[in-house]
Structures are given as structure tokens and as C-alpha cells.
Amino acid sequence: MVISLTSPFGGRARTEVLLALCLLEESYARELARLLDRPVSGVHTALRSLEDDGLVAGGLRGRTRLFRLAPRYFAYDELKGYLERLTEAEPDLRQRVGDLRRRPRRTGKRLRG
């Protein structure tokens, strides 16, 4: 992932997490860590600080804590538009997001090999 040395959201991890959430719409920390090739602890820290700042909203679905851009953020539309523009310069990230499996595998289904 190529992001300038000065990240617009206070740090590279925070910026990368926001870009990924913009493309995915919602995700959880472990999936974001795999996607961004970052440690889960760093992604958790970024998510926590983004949530504290009101940019990201988290909630439980079952036992999984899912995150998304905060729809009640006062400048949500502007933020989303800005992030979409930033992701245009990230074809590698867009490809990895496109390659993600978004549905759980059916129970008992064999893996292709």
C-alpha cells in the first residue's frame, strides 16, 4: 500500500483502516489486519482511536465486533467522498478487497485443492 508519509488522519494505520472500511463498508479487526498486513494489535489501536474521535462506529453482531464509518459523523458525506477519492490511488488495496470472501463457507463444504 502506498500512502504518503504524512497521513491525513493522524497516522498511517488510522488512514489505512479508514480506506479499507470505506471499501468494505464494514469489517472486523482481524480481517482488516490481514487485508492491510498489519498486526491485529495495531489495527485494534487504530480502530479504538478512530472510534474515540467519532470517525468509526463499532457494534456487536453475535460475538464479533464490526466497525464501519460512523454514519452520524457530522461530515459523513464529505469524509466518505474524500476516502473514496483516496482509494482511487490504491489499486492494490482495491484488488485485495475485491478478492476477499465475504460469505462464510457452507458447513462441510470441501476446500478446493
Rg from Cα positions in the chain: 15
- Average pLDDT, integer, range 97-107: 73
CATH node for 12-92: 1.10.10.10
pLDDT at 109 (0 to 100):
61
Cα separation values, 15 from 60, 61, 64, Å: 23, 24, 23
Question: Distance between CA atoms of 13 and 111, rounded to whole angstroms?
Answer: 33
**Residues 35-38: contacts with CB under 8 Å, at least 24 apart:** 35/93, 35/96, 35/97, 35/100, 36/1, 38/13
What percent of the chain is modeled with pLDDT above 90?
78
pLDDT digits (tens, 9 = 90+) for 83-100: 999 999 999 999 999 888
pLDDT at 7 (0 to 100):
80
State the average pLDDT for the chain.
89
pLDDT digits (tens, 9 = 90+) for 1-36: 554 445 889 899 999 999 999 999 999 999 999 999
Residue 8 corresponds to which cell in the numbers above?
491525513
